[in-house]
Chain A
Amino acid sequence: NAGVTQTPKFRILKIGQSMTLQCAQDMNHNYMYWYRQDPGMGLKLIYYSVGAGITDKGEVPNGYNVSRSTTEDFPLRLELAAPSQTSVYFCASSYGDREGGNQPQHFGDGTRLSIL
Chain B
Amino acid sequence: AQTVTQSQPEMSVQEAETVTLSCTYDTSENNYYLFWYKQPPSRQMILVIRQEAYKQQNATENRFSVNFQKAAKSFSLKISDSQLGDTAMYFCALLLLGTASKLTFGTGTRLQVTL
| A contact residues vs B (CB 8 Å cutoff) | 31, 33, 40-45, 48, 50, 56, 58, 88, 90, 92, 94, 96, 98-101, 103-105, 107, 109-110
Do B97 and A100 have beta carbons less than 8 Å apart? yes
17 contacts between A and B (CB under 8 A): A31-B100, A33-B103, A40-B9, A40-B107, A42-B108, A44-B105, A45-B103, A90-B45, A96-B101, A100-B96, A100-B98, A101-B32, A101-B33, A103-B101, A104-B50, A105-B47, A110-B44
Segment 59-105 of B: residues with Cβ below 8 Å from A: 91, 93, 95-103, 105
Q: For residue A40, which residues in chain B have a CB less than 8 angstroms away from its CB?
A: 9, 107-108
Known contacts A42-B107, A99-B97; A88/B35 CB under 8 A: no
Known contacts A40-B107, A41-B107, A42-B108; A101/B43 CB under 8 A: no
Given A42-B91, A100-B97, A104-B50, 10 other A-B residues pairs in contact with their CB atoms under 8 A: A40-B107, A41-B108, A42-B4, A42-B105, A42-B108, A43-B45, A43-B103, A48-B102, A99-B97, A105-B103
| B contact residues vs A (CB 8 Å cutoff) | 4, 9, 32-33, 35, 42-45, 47, 50, 52, 91, 93, 95-103, 105-108
Do A31 and B101 have beta carbons less than 8 Å apart? yes
Q: For residue A42, which residues in chain B have a CB less than 8 angstroms away from its CB?
A: 4, 91, 93, 105-108
In the bound assembly, the distance between CA atoms of A44 and B104 in angstroms comes to 7
In the bound assembly, the distance between CA atoms of A99 and B71 in angstroms comes to 22
Q: For residue B101, which residues in chain A have a CB less than 8 angstroms away from its CB?
A: 31, 94, 96, 100-101, 103, 105
Shortest beta-carbon distance from B58 to chain A in Å: 18
Q: For residue A92, which residues in chain B have a CB less than 8 angstroms away from its CB?
A: 45
Query: Which residue of chain B is the closest to A104 with respect to CB atoms?
Result: B47
In the bound assembly, the distance between CA atoms of A101 and B103 in angstroms comes to 9
Do B100 and A50 have beta carbons less than 8 Å apart? yes
Shortest beta-carbon distance from B83 to chain A in Å: 22
